[in-house]
Copies of this chain bind each other. A is one copy, B any other.
Amino acid sequence: MNVPDDVRAAMRKTNEVFDTQVVGRQNISELDRVYTRNARVLPPGSPMLEGREEVKAFWQGAIQALGLKSAKLTSVDAEAVGDCVIEIGRADLLVSSGDTITVKYVVQWKQEDGDWKWNVDIWNASE
């Protein structure tokens, strides 16, 4: 757990943009503040997505299909390596049925345009 406090704060800010802006308001363009330009996203049951256009199309569809209401992201472990952070985390996803789906994830974080963003993003079901 060697990640500086200012980087942790920046990571929390990015996660809040995802939760409140992207998921909460379905403001898909805010994904530019969440993912790097060359981000790779590996959703369960889908081929790897590459770049913001594919990532935006995926989340637009997934948020609507699930009726996703919020995404609370909790860091379980984070390690600074080189100019990156490797994070293991837990996401609690509130969906329109009222159920909460819990998934675990690994994110490689990189700094881009002054913000810390998700450069590689993969998750799967916790149970």
Contact = CB atoms under 8 A, between A and B. Distances in A.
B46 A127 contact: yes
Interface string A97-127: 0000000111010000000000010111111
A81 interface: yes
A45 to B, nearest CB: 5
B42 A104 contact: yes
Copies, count = 2
Contacts of A105: 122
Q: Which 6 residue pairs across A and B have the least CB separation, nearest first? A: A82-B82, A81-B82, A44-B124, A124-B124, A81-B84, A106-B122
Given A48-B76, A76-B48, A124 B86 contact: no
